[in-house]
Amino acid sequence: MNKKIIIANLKLNGNVKYIKKYIEILKKYTYINQKYRILIAPPILYLYLSNLIIKESQIKLVSQNIDKNISGSFTGEISGEMLKDINIKYVIIGHSERKKYHKENNIDILNKIIIAKKFNIKPIICIGENIQDYENKKSKKICKKQIKFLIKNNNINILKNTILAYEPIWAIGTGKNANIKHISKIHKYIIKYITSINKNIIKKIKIIYGGSINKKNIYNIINNKYIDGLLIGKSSWKIENFIKILNIIE
Ligand code: PEP
């Protein structure tokens, strides 16, 4: 069964006690894993600990970042080799918060994808438009531009075995989710665009949505056939809340 993906992005939240409690509780809800592939992205500092706790569960871990360099004088960074060393299989790349607060650009994003793939870590590549572009009906154009950049500066295979996360910037952390009509229109467009370049690659890509998912909107969004999963920030931070929304879609 092709399971839909649910990713909890814990961002800059938590401590040892919180992480232990979060994963221990999540582990008990084994039935959720029968229908969905559950992934969590704790702060990088807690990935090692999380890896010890998830043992014998189906939960997978996601790194919130990766450096574009393999090793060397890059204070504060985390390498693909290090992530691989502790068995991390996924990484979020190009999140709008990294672009905004850490000035990551398209070249950085491409280089990070290349490095992640080198170490067999699946990139979760975030794309999406800002509010002005959304209001000016340029969402499709912006998404295409972001994907095209990767293909032009590498090749179509850069997208193979990746997860594309459509995350309209205006929907992240704002409480204003994109509506299902808009999301499915963009997902369909992305599928069409990639298929027009290569018919086979699209089978190796998942397209998920992220932006203000909550208990009211999750059911409709996850059940759309063009949506392979969700990236969830705020609504995943309290484990009790995350379990509640998982139960809605169960
Ligand atoms: C995100 O940061 O990727 C995200 C989707 O956050 P939120 O759910 O809080 O909008």
How confident is the model over 24-46, as a mean pLDDT? 94
Tokens of 199: 């018919």
Please tell me whether the overall predicted TM-score, pTM, comes out greater than 0.95 for this model.
Answer: yes
Beta-bridged to residue 4, according to DSSP, are 36
Ligand 1 centroid to Cα of residue 148, in Å, is 24
126 has a pLDDT exceeding 70: yes
Cite the DSSP H helix spans in the chain: 16-28, 32-35, 47-53, 80-85, 96-102, 106-118, 131-135, 139-153, 180-197, 218-222, 239-249
For the stretch 164-208, pLDDT in tens is: 999 999 999 999 999 999 999 999 999 999 999 999 999 999 999
pLDDT of residue 1: 67
- Nearest to 53, CA basis, from 63, 64, 42: 42
pLDDT band, very low/low/confident/very high, at 2 (cuts 50, 70, 90): confident
pLDDT of residue 33: 84
Indicate the average pLDDT of the chain: 97
CB of 10 sitting under 6 A from ligand 1: no
For the stretch 224-233, pLDDT in tens is: 999 999 999 9
Calculate ∠ Cα 104-98-142, nearest 5°.
Answer: 70
Beta-bridged to residue 7, according to DSSP, are 39, 231
66 has a pLDDT exceeding 90: yes
DSSP calls for 41-95: E--GGGHHHHHHHSTTSS-EEEES---SSSSSS-TT---HHHHHHTT--EEEES-
pLDDT of residue 32: 87
Catalytic residue from among 97, 129, 167, 187: 167
Q: Which atom from ligand 1 is nearest to the alpha carbon of 232?
A: 8
Amino acid at 130: N
How confident is the model over 1-8, as a mean pLDDT? 92
**Those residues with Cβ within 8 angstroms of residue 204's Cβ, 6 or more apart along the chain or in another chain:** 159, 160, 161, 162
